[in-house]
Amino acid sequence: MRPTVRFLDDALIGRIVDEARGLLEKLGVEVQDPGLLDVLGEHGARVERGTSRAFLPGALLDRALATAPRAFRLFDVLGDPTHDFTGSKVHFTPGSSALNVLDWPAQTVRRPVTADYAACAKVVQGLPHIAAQSTAFVPADVPDAIADAYRLYLSLMLGEKPVVTGAFTAEGFPLMHELLAIARGGTGDLRAKPLAVFSACPTSPFKWSRDTARNVVDCARAGVPVEFIAMPMAGFLSPVTLTGTVVQHTAETLSGIVLHQCAAPGAPFLYGGSPGVFDIRYETTPMGAIETMMIDAAYNEVGKSFGFPTQAYTALSDAKRLDAQAGLETGMGAALAVLAGINSVSGPGMMDFENCVSLEKLVVDHEICGMALRLGRGIEPREDFPALPRFEELLREEHLLISPHTRKYLKSEIAFPGPVIDRASRARWAEEGSGTLGDRAHAEVERLIGQWTPSRLADDLKGALTERMAAAAKAAGADALPPLP
């Protein structure tokens, strides 16, 4: 039995979906792109030009739901499968698009540069429980106009895992798509073996900006998967009740699915989000709040009620340093995400309200992810019955340390975190320098960077990527790309 957690019963999910459908039909969504309003109109939406609103009738929604795929896969830069977005399979991804990096020696935040991004890509490559790269932060040493594509370029050059990313503007997507196609060897191959997922974030309440709406449509037409990231904010830009916020999340996400499937029926997506509660005391949106995690798990249940693969921004923290709060919030989020069966979990490494990435936190979180994934495998009998022979063996041998049964199941039954999580005796810990969690995390970051080996992507493809990126940089006013670390 896979352990699971439920916050909504079937009747409540049904009511939430019904209410969301009603909102889409009666209140509609704002789509700030006349051309895309036309697309929705052609498919049966009632369009109100003056307010840029599209009212989505149930029949249109049902057609979109009918064509929407219930599963898809991702493949790494070498073309090997890495992600199977079906059922309750969980894949962790670092948090994405932070503005800052936590500078470990200085213990302060600063704008990241290419060297930081490269370090992150190298660390991620060495973390087996982190299944994908993300364009984790925005390098400040290239022109803003190409910053989104430049992150993707660095990921494709330095790492092998698929990339969770996003375009900052509608104009940003073609270049990013081109880079992906170069790495994959063509647009057809890219469609057949997706290499990236693009985040598409509606603006609460019920609004699709021109850039995001265009990204949704462009991705759909190119066969590049998207993850819908609705971000209702309980008590501020959505109802304070968790149920009310899930209703809003459902409506906003379904509106994205309609737009997406109208553009390209059958195009792949993740039913995701990054909702939060609003902390009126600090005017912040804590991602580490337990209610935020509950909303995540709940909308995941709504998504799964349709049979869609799901995503959430969780397993992250609002802490400013790698402290107890960082571990607590990340651990709770990771455990709940696994129990909920959220298929793609974006968050490890992230802190400070999604504004900052710490590589040291990432390696701590990686071990948390390993434990959470173990949690998800649950408790199953593994040659445990009949019990008598095992216990006869125990009494005879006085231990089971090298029993064939132990050797067969040790590593699948017991997850051994480390080297960051401390399980040494005090004496051994003292002998090894009495290091803190942060000390061990920093050492592990340096170790992973030191042991990184270049991506096995073919050199001619790397050359083509660099040529294309350099041309884009030049067009954006930069003399040259920063040197690749």
Chain residues binding another protein by CB under 8 A are: 398-399, 401-402, 406-407, 410, 418-419, 425, 427-428, 431
For 2, the token pair is 């896979």
User: Distance between CA atoms of 373 and 358, rounded to whole angstroms?
Assistant: 22
Check if the beta carbon of residue 371 is closer than 8 Å to that of residue 415. Answer: yes
User: Distance between CA atoms of 475 and 164, rounded to whole angstroms?
Assistant: 25
From the CB of 393, what's the least distance to another protein, in Å?
A: 14
For 385, the token pair is 């019955």
Check if the beta carbon of residue 308 is closer than 8 Å to that of residue 268. Answer: no
Nearer to another protein, 26 or 399 (CB): 399
From the CB of 402, what's the least distance to another protein, in Å?
A: 5
* Helix pair 437-451, 114-125: axis angle to 10 deg: 90
Q: Count Cα neighbours of 262 within 13 Å in the Cβ-side half-sphere.
A: 26
From the CB of 366, what's the least distance to another protein, in Å?
A: 17
Q: Report the length, in residues, of the chain.
A: 485
Nearer to another protein, 425 or 453 (CB): 425
From the CB of 123, what's the least distance to another protein, in Å?
A: 20
From the CB of 343, what's the least distance to another protein, in Å?
A: 33
Nearer to another protein, 236 or 409 (CB): 409
Q: What is the CA radius of gyration of the chain?
A: 23
Nearer to another protein, 281 or 411 (CB): 411
From the CB of 431, what's the least distance to another protein, in Å?
A: 8
Nearer to another protein, 306 or 429 (CB): 429
Nearer to another protein, 281 or 399 (CB): 399
User: Distance between CA atoms of 210 and 34, rounded to whole angstroms?
Assistant: 9
Nearer to another protein, 398 or 459 (CB): 398
Q: With residue 84 as reference, give the H or E element that holds it.
A: strand 81-85
Q: Which residue reads 């009126």 in tokens?
A: 280
For 200, the token pair is 């598409």
From the CB of 371, what's the least distance to another protein, in Å?
A: 18
98: closest CA among 445, 312, 354?
354
- Reduced to 3 states (helix: H, G, I; strand: E, B; else coil), residue 276 is strand
